[in-house]
């Protein structure tokens, strides 16, 4: 099976969008609307077909699929690639949003929505994806090594698996150890300047990073402001 990966920029026509939606009454007008906006759309109705699809530039993923839970599809896609994923679902509860983002989704859009809003979200996610840190350097924070070129993290020489958002958050915080990053700055850089989801997702990701790194003291909370990293004593 060929892995799903990121291709050309989502700012140009001909961009390949994979729509994963089992409801024809939603998928058909969605595909027509996107094609009118210049996107090339490939639609599948199951999680299995989504995982087996040709590499797209963007994935629009419904959660209520007939075979594999949409969260699991998101997790598997993120585990093997950086393809941008926007969850498109009727599940609007905060916990659903947080879980989707925790598993690696780049954005979360609740039905019903307009095609213009969707296209704006696609473009915003694309800009963030293209602007991710790619400088070939390594950052050390006590026993933690962050390789921004390969997007790998090790603790005491052992690999640590992070979600895409977790890595982007850690990369931002380690750009300048000791410098405080405000909550607004983090949300704008790692998520989006026009983020509509719950701000609690930042706290969820910080908690996950502390747990996975095994050294919670390396990420400090600056009460009422934001977060900063510091080297181990």
Residue 192: pLDDT band (50, 70, 90) is low
In a domain, 225, yes or no: yes
Q: Which of 74, 109, 130 is the last residue of a domain?
A: 130
The answer to whether 9 touches 17, Cβ cutoff 8 Å, is no
The tokens describing 30, both together, are: 């969605």
Measured over the CA atoms of residue 51, residue 52, residue 58 and residue 63, the dihedral's sign is negative
Length, in residues, of the chain = 233
The whole domain housing 173 covers 138-229
Top mean pLDDT of 13-17, 137-141, 208-212 is at 208-212
Whether residues 125 and 170 share a domain: the answer is no
Same domain? For 80 and 123 the reply is: yes
The answer to whether residue 11 sits within a structural domain is: no
| CATH number of the domain where residue 214 is located | 1.10.10.10
pLDDT tens by residue, 123-142: 888 777 665 544 336 788 88
What is the DSSP track for 169-216?
Answer: HHHHHTSSTTPPEEHHHHIIIII-TT--S-THHHHHHHHHHHHHHS-G
pTM of whole model > 0.75? no
Q: Are residues 103 and 187 in the same domain?
A: no
Per the structure, the count of domains in the chain is: 2
Query: What number is the average pLDDT over the span 156-164?
Result: 90
119 phi, psi to nearest 5 deg: -60, -40
- Residue 119 resides in a domain: yes
Handedness of CA 183, 188, 193, 196 (dihedral sign): negative
Instruction: Pick the range with the lowest mean pLDDT from 2-6, 19-23, 83-87, 152-156.
Output: 2-6
The pLDDT confidence band at residue 154, using thresholds 50, 70 and 90, is very high
Q: DSSP assignment of 82-146, as one string? A: ---EEEEES---HHHHHHHHHTT-SEEEESS--HHHHHHHHHHHHHHHHTS---S-EEEETTEEE
Using one digit for the tens of pLDDT, what is the confidence trace for 45-101?
999 999 999 889 899 999 999 999 999 999 899 888 888 999 988 876 777 777 777
Domain boundary at 130, 149, 170, which?
130
Q: Tell me if 82 sits within 8 A of 5, measured CB to CB.
A: yes
């Amino acid at each position: 099976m060929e892995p799903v990966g990121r291709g050309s920029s989502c700012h140009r026509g001909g961009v390949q969008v994979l729509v994963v939606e089992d409801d024809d009454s939603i998928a058909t007008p969605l595909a027509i609307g996107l094609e009118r906006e210049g996107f090339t759309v490939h639609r599948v109705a199951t999680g299995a077909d989504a995982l087996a699809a040709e590499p797209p530039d963007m994935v629009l993923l419904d959660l209520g699929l007939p075979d594999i839970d949409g969260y699991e599809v998101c997790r598997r896609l993120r585990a093997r690639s950086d393809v941008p994923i926007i969850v498109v679902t009727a599940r609007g509860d905060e916990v659903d949003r947080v879980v989707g983002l925790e598993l690696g989704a780049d954005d979360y859009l609740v039905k019903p929505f307009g095609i213009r809003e969707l296209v704006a979200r696609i473009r915003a996610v694309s800009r963030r994806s293209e602007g991710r840190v790619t400088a070939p350097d390594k950052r050390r924070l006590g026993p933690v090594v962050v390789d921004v070129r390969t997007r790998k993290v090790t603790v005491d020489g052992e690999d640590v698996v992070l979600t895409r958002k977790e890595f982007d958050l850690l990369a931002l915080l380690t750009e300048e150890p000791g410098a405080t990053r405000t909550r607004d700055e983090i949300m704008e850089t790692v998520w989006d300047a026009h983020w509509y989801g719950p701000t609690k997702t930042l706290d969820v990701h910080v908690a996950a990073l502390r747990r996975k790194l095994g050294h919670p003291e390396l990420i400090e909370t600056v009460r009422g402001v934001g977060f900063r990293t510091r080297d181990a004593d």
